[in-house]
């Protein structure tokens, strides 16, 4: 259009100029003889000025007209570009950066026009597609290019399938590329679903074909009028018939049926032909290889009245099923024989609690014949009101689980052990008489209880060593002495000796050998024992050797007593002063009234209190500070003379709070009399500060998580609802109102994100101040 306008203006100018020159000079020639040279010169000059003026006016109106047409064309073109329902944009071929986008592009992709201008066409593509995009741009020709199907990424991360049409244009006097996008997501998804359905149909068809092959089924048609039988090729394989036999198919098949089954098959066929009764017959045939096969025949009349009678049927090789049935019958016979051979009583109930099967042991127990038992209710033999085992049957029947139970039967006056197993028909029950076993258990229980009472009367570990078998048996007091998990306890002599202190093991073994060689019975030894976690205790082991007839030791029965407290009290008191002077932890020693008697150098350095300042004072007097509740717990447990640990706050001489982990251990003298407490304190202030820092961060994270999951969710839910509403409305006023609401929700969400960032940055700043 623009080229045509420029050509029209140039042509008009040329035409007017030629006509003016042609006629004005000729006219001027006629006046040459009538005018003076000056007049002729002025007339010639006026003619030129008139030509310029006229042509200028003509060019002005022509150019303005063409410009108006051009602007109207551009307006129509931009209107078509902006109002196009499909997303469109213009981008630079060199930088691939967006230059202009229409409203549909902003609505579909979620970016504003300003955000689009910050992006390139690669930013809306998956990373793996970007090289292909660049190559596609380089292949564009000077015509409308169908660039095919691509994947695009919206602002929210959603991937859509689109079809791209591109063509080169000049925009702002520079080469650009205009793109129109058609959303093909629904079509692609539909094609994918359709492809999946077709694939599933093919799989089902394949499965059906396999099922028919595995089920060994073949079809046939029979025309009684002509005695003509037509069957599929599968019949030859299933029935084992000869394909080369030239006889009629009906005669061939009938000949292979067992003579005993042939009348049954023919009679059933006649009933179908005459009366229309559906054929369902199972018979035997003899295959070419001489094997016997069981064939089930199904057939019905297919022809309509007035047409030739046609019978359609199918046959199935059920030889394997018949063999399984015969095997099942043999199994049932074997099962009955097995049931009658076991010593346990057995009966089987149906879902109504009626007896279906019993064994001989059960019949002997109830003194009743099978004919009077089978079919009767179990409650006729064992009344429900007196039957403690009814819940066992009921649970196995209803919950389909195996249930075991032991109880006393008032009816049989015996102890019974019962097991109920769910079956397809109901429940199978086995039970046996355990009366003698229960009596033995009761007597054994009484003996064990007496032994346990004796064992509980002392904390000694009683053991029995079988020297020949190298096996040890302990009483339950072992776990009180040896703090080792039950699964790690072994019952060999080597394991016990592995617990003995390496410096004491030689004396223990040699002393036992001296006693056994001398044929003596009483042995005792004092040694240290590993009681778990590397802790050794002093024990007194006293034993009694048992010998066989050859005077060889075969058993050692003994008891191990914990004497660690008595043994160590003197040693600990002697070594205490030397040890606690060398440790870095704060150490205090108090008397039986909780008064401080001694503190180490570390205590004086860390708290500022010297021994002379705190002697005969309780720790609560100078370490507790104002209203310290922790010392009440410490005093209460000290009064109970417990060994315990506690984390608490103490105050130095300057009033500075210090977190300490205190371990309080009671001290005893050689006579096992309570002397006071040894208190060891470790400074854990740094650890507590870190714990408080972690707690503050956790609180901040919970607040941020709450805002993320509750506050931000509200505008997001509103925006989703507005987007759905926008999809449903076509009214422009309503759409503008919805866009306004969307902007409000976006500003609200942005404000929440700024609030979260502000809290996080504030907490970081506070943490930096605390670290400084």
- Per-residue pLDDT tens for 665-717? 998 887 788 989 999 888 888 888 777 777 777 776 666 666 665 666 667 77
- The pLDDT of residue 454: 59
In the chain, domain spans: 2-78, 84-183, 216-324, 342-439, 458-562, 568-683, 695-771
With a cut of 90, say whether residue 507 has pLDDT above it. Answer: yes
Could you write out the DSSP letters of every residue in 297-324?
EEEEE-PPTTSPP-EEEEEEE-HHHHHH
Give the chain's mean pLDDT.
79
- The pLDDT of residue 209: 47
The angle, 0 to 180 degrees and rounded to 10, between the axes of the packed helices 249-256 and 262-275 is 130
Residue range 458-562 in CATH 3.30.450.20: yes
Could you write out the DSSP letters of every residue in 315-356?
EEE-HHHHHHHHHHHHHHHHHHHHHHHSSSEEEEEETTSBEE
pLDDT tens digits for range 706-731 = 666 566 666 777 777 777 777 777 77
Counting other chains too, the contacts that 265-273 makes at CB distance below 8 Å and 24 or more residues apart are: 265/297, 268/297, 269/222, 269/299, 269/311, 272/299, 272/300, 272/301, 272/311, 273/224, 273/301, 273/309, 273/311
Domain range 695-771, CATH architecture: Orthogonal Bundle (1.10)
With a cut of 50, say whether residue 521 has pLDDT above it. Answer: yes
Q: Is this model's pTM higher than 0.85 or not?
A: no
Confidence of residue 506 (pLDDT cuts 50, 70, 90): very high
Residue range 568-683 in CATH 3.30.450.20: yes
Token readout for 683 is 């400074």
Report the relative pairing of strands 644-651 and 596-599 from DSSP bridges: unpaired
DSSP H helical ranges for 183-318? 185-215, 234-239, 249-256, 262-275
What number is the average pLDDT over the span 100-129? 89
With a cut of 70, say whether residue 334 has pLDDT above it. Answer: no
Assign domain 84-183 to its CATH superfamily. Answer: PAS domain (3.30.450.20)
In CATH terms, 216-324 corresponds, of 3.10.50.40, 3.30.450.20, 2.10.25.10, 3.60.15.10, to 3.30.450.20
3-class secondary structure, 621: helix
Which range (142-146, 168-172, 336-340, 365-369) has the least confidence?
336-340
pLDDT tens digits for range 151-196 = 899 889 888 888 888 888 888 788 888 888 888 877 777 777 778 8
Same CATH fold assignment for domains 458-562 and 695-771: no
Look at 748 and 417; give whichever has higher pLDDT. 417
Residue range 342-439 in CATH 3.30.450.20: yes
Which range (33-37, 93-97, 650-654) has the least confidence?
33-37
- The pLDDT of residue 561: 87
pLDDT tens digits for range 751-763 = 777 777 777 777 6
Residues 6+ apart with CB under 8 A from 317: 216, 238, 239, 293, 294, 295
With a cut of 50, say whether residue 740 has pLDDT above it. Answer: yes
């Amino acid at each position: 259009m623009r080229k045509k306008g420029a050509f029209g203006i140039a042509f008009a100018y040329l035409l007017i100029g030629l006509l003016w020159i042609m006629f004005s000079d000729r006219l001027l020639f006629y006046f040459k003889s009538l005018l003076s040279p000056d007049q002729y010169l002025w007339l010639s000059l006026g003619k030129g000025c008139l030509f310029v003026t006229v042509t200028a006016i003509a060019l002005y109106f022509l150019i303005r007209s063409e410009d108006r047409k051009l602007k109207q064309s551009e307006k129509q073109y931009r209107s078509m570009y902006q109002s196009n329902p499909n997303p469109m944009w213009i981008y630079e071929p060199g930088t691939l950066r967006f230059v202009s986008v229409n409203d549909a592009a902003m609505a579909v992709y979620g970016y504003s026009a300003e955000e689009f201008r910050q992006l390139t066409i690669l930013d809306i593509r998956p990373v793996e597609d970007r090289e292909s995009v660049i190559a596609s741009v380089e292949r564009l020709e000077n015509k409308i290019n169908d660039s095919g199907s691509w994947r695009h990424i919206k602002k929210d991360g959603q991937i859509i399938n689109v079809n791209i049409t591109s063509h080169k244009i000049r925009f702002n006097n520079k080469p650009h590329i205009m793109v129109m996008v058609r959303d093909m997501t629904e079509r692609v998804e539909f094609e994918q679903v359709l492809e999946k359905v077709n694939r599933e149909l093919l799989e089902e068809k394949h499965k059906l074909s396999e099922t028919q092959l595995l089920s060994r089924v073949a079809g046939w048609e029979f025309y009684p009028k002509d005695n003509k039988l037509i069957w599929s090729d599968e019949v030859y394989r299933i029935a084992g018939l000869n394909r080369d036999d030239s006889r009629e198919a009906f005669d061939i098949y009938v000949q292979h049926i067992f003579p005993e089954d042939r009348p049954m098959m023919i009679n059933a066929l006649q009933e179908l032909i005459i009366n229309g009764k559906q054929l369902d017959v199972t018979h035997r045939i003899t295959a070419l290889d001489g094997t016997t096969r069981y064939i089930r025949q199904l057939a019905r009349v297919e022809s309509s009245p007035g047409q030739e009678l046609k019978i359609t049927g199918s046959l199935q090789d059920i030889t394997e099923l018949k063999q399984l049935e015969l095997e099942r019958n043999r199994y049932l016979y074997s099962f009955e024989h097995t049931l009658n051979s076991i010593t346990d009583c057995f009966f089987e109930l149906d879902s109504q609690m009626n007896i279906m099967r019993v064994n001989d042991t059960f019949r002997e127990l109830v003194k009743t014949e099978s004919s009077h038992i089978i079919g009767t209710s179990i409650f006729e033999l064992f009344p429900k009101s007196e039957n403690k085992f009814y819940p066992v049957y009921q649970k196995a029947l209803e919950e389909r689980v195996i249930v075991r139970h032991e109880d006393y039967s008032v009816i049989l006056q015996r102890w019974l052990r019962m097991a109920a197993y769910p079956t397809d028909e109901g429940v199978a029950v086995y039970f046996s008489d355990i009366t003698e076993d229960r009596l033995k258990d009761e007597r054994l229980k009484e003996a064990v209880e007496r032994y346990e009472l004796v064992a509980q009367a002392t904390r000694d570990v009683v053991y029995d060593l079988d020297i020949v078998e190298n096996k040890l048996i302990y009483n339950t007091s072992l776990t009180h002495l040896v703090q080792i998990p039950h699964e790690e306890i072994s019952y060999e002599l080597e394991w016990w000796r592995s617990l003995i202190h390496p410096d004491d093991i030689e004396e223990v073994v040699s002393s036992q050998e001296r006693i056994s060689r001398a044929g003596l019975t009483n042995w005792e030894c004092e040694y240290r024992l590993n009681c778990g976690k590397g802790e050794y205790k002093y024990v007194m082991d006293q034993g009694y050797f048992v010998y066989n007839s050859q005077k060889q030791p075969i058993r050692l029965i003994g008891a191990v007593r914990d004497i660690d407290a008595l043994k160590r009290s003197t040693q600990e008191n002697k070594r205490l002063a030397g040890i606690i002077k060398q440790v870095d932890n704060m150490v205090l020693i108090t008397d039986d009234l909780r008064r401080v008697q001694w503190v180490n150098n570390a205590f004086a350095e860390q708290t500022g209190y010297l021994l002379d300042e705190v002697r005969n004072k309780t720790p609560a007097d100078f370490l507790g500070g104002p209203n310290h509740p922790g010392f009440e717990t410490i005093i209460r447990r000290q009064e109970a003379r417990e060994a315990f640990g506690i984390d608490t706050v103490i105050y130095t001489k300057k009033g500075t709070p210090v977190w300490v982990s205190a371990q309080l251990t009671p001290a005893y003298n050689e006579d096992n009399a309570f002397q006071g407490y040894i208190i060891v304190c470790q400074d854990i202030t740094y650890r507590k500060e870190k714990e408080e820092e972690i707690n503050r961060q956790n609180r901040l994270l919970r607040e941020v998580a709450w805002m993320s999951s509750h506050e931000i969710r509200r505008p997001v839910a509103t925006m989703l609802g507005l987007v759905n509403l926008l999809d449903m409305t076509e009214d422009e006023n309503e759409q503008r109102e919805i866009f306004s609401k969307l902007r409000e929700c976006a500003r609200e969400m942005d404000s929440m994100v700024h609030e979260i960032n502000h809290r996080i940055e504030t907490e970081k700043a506070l943490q930096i101040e605390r670290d400084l």
